[in-house]
Each structure stands twice: as C-alpha cells, then as structure tokens.
Chains A and B, each alone.
Chain A
Amino acid sequence: MKEKLASRIEKLAKRASKSPVTAEVKTSGNSSLHQIIKTKQQADLFMKLLKEA
C-alpha cells in the first residue's frame, strides 16, 4: 500500500514541478498555537515534549 502511495506522490511531484501554482493564497493568519507561543523557552519545552512522545 505504501509503495502505491509513494508512486502516486512521485507522479504528483513531477506534475507539480511542471505546472507551478502562481496565485498566492492567504490564510486568516497565524494558527492558535503560533499565537500562544511567545517565548523560546515555551517553544523549546513544547517541542522537546512532543518529540519525546
């Protein structure tokens, strides 16, 4: 199954490289997580715990 998915992704990557999207699309702003993380200490602790999980 993963091989089949890998082959589909490879085909998509080839297609994407030939027809790049030019129109810029905006989102409504930063995610809630990015808004509440305000210090490096907070971010480092969060990422450390997430990587260990």
Chain B
Amino acid sequence: MSVRVKIDFDKVYEFAEISPGFNLSSFNTRLEDGKIMPLKVKISNHAHALLPNVYNLAFGPLNKQGKIDDKAELTHSDYSKVFSTILFSAYAYLKQNPGHYLGIDGSDNTRAYFYYRALQRNFAYLDRHFNMFGIKYFVRITRFGKTQYDNPFDFQDIMPYHYKIGPGDEVSQNHMYNYFIFTLKPER
C-alpha cells in the first residue's frame, strides 16, 4: 500500500450511525470503482478481566456472518478521509470515556507498517490529541540448547513491551509493532 494518508478531523465522512458511548459507528466509504461500501468502527464494550482499561478498536466492512472483516482489501477513493473518520471516532470515544486506552491490531505486518507510516506522516497532527505507543511481544529464552535441535523459547512466557512513538522514529517492516495503543493527551 503506497498511499499517502493525511489525517484531518475536519475532513471526515458523515456517520451513518453512532451508538451512545461511541462504541459503534459506521460510515460509507467510496471505493475507487465508484461503489459505496459501509464500514463499521467497533470498540469492544467488554473490558478484559486483566486489562480493565484497554479496549480494542476494529474496523472494516461486515462479512457474510455479520462480523467485521479487518482483513478486507479495499481500494478507497480517499484513504485520508477514511482514516481521518476512524481516528476521529477513536478521539470522540476517548473524550466520552476518559481513562480508557484504545488498542489497534495490525492484522498483518504489511498493514501494521502501513498504519505506522501513516502515524509518522501525521505525527504533528496526531500528537496534539493522542499519546501513541507501539507494543512488541517478547518471548522468554529458557536457556540455549545444548544441541541445535533444542528449542530455547518458552512460548507460554510472553511479555508485551511498549515504545512511545516519537517523531521520525524509524522501525522497519520486519521489526514492526504488534499492536498500537492510543490514549488521550491531557488538556493543557
């Protein structure tokens, strides 16, 4: 995806629907072939037992089972407007739900890298509103095996670690974050 996204909360699609608390919204995007496609933005409404303040944001069209398809490959006519709308809905949600953290999964490395590039290109704008973190997951090494066949990794012992995203930070696609977290910047 070599698309340059420019985030601007003044240039967003009109919401077709929005729920109280802003957990669910939808808007219609225009695809490059002229087709109109409804997109849903859903913020989980159940907190994880162990991470009570972290809520996951998913977006995409609905599949035949009525689930958000976050792996759908769409060619939008205006990527800037699509991502501005999604991030504006995240901003509105955080304003309505102070103290919450919003997380976004990159469904694969390419998509996560695309999101990261978009964050970097719009860092000055987004930094006015959000603190942004990239999260990587690390697996514990038990000990190096005596032979090359011993597996030294304990995949039951994984630790997430956050990196505050700063302007111009370069992270290659192969070392891309697993997850992104947004919080609202405190009012000055």
Contact = CB atoms under 8 A, between A and B. Distances in A.
A33 B54 contact: yes
Interface in B51-82: 51, 53-54, 56, 58, 62, 65-70
B127 interface: no
B153 interface: no
A36 B133 CA distance: 17
Contacts of B135: 33
Interface string A2-30: 10011001001101110111000111101
Nearest to B55: A31
A34 B51 contact: yes
Given A19-B17, A47-B53, A36 B67 contact: no
Contacts of B95: 6, 9
A15 B18 CA distance: 8
A16 B17 CA distance: 8
B15 to A, nearest CB: 7
B147 to A, nearest CB: 29
B91 A31 contact: no
Contacts, number: 111
Contacts of A53: 131, 133, 162, 164
Interface residues of A, number: 35
Contact of B68 (A17, A26, A32): A26
Contact of A25 (B20, B24, B101): B24
Contacts of A13: 20, 22, 96
Interface of B: 9, 15, 17-22, 24, 40, 42, 44, 48, 50-51, 53-54, 56, 58, 62, 65-70, 91-92, 95-96, 101, 103, 105, 128, 131, 133, 135, 137, 156, 158-162, 164, 178-179, 181, 187
Q: When A and B form their complex, which 9 residue pairs have the shortest distance between CB atoms, in order from nearest?
A: A43-B50, A31-B56, A21-B19, A27-B58, A26-B67, A16-B18, A16-B20, A36-B158, A34-B48
